[in-house]
Amino acid sequence: MTLEWTDSLSSIDWSELSALYRAAPLGEKNPADLETAFSSSRFRCFVYDSDNLVGVGRALADGIDCSYICDVAVLPSHQGTGLGKEIIANLVRLSAGHKKIILYAVPGKEAFYRKFGFKRMTTAMAIFEDQALAMERGLINET
**Architecture category of domain 3-104 in CATH:** 3-Layer(aba) Sandwich (3.40)
pLDDT of residue 52: 96
Assess contact for 62 and 68: CB atoms under 8 A: no
Using N-to-C axis directions, what is the helix angle for 31-39 and 14-23, rounded to 10°? Answer: 100
Assess contact for 45 and 87: CB atoms under 8 A: yes
- pLDDT in 10s for each residue of the chain, 143 residues: 689 999 999 999 999 999 999 999 988 999 999 999 999 999 999 999 999 999 999 999 999 999 999 999 999 999 999 999 999 999 999 999 999 999 988 788 889 999 999 998 888 889 999 999 989 988 888 87
Cα distance between residue 21 and residue 29, in whole Å: 7
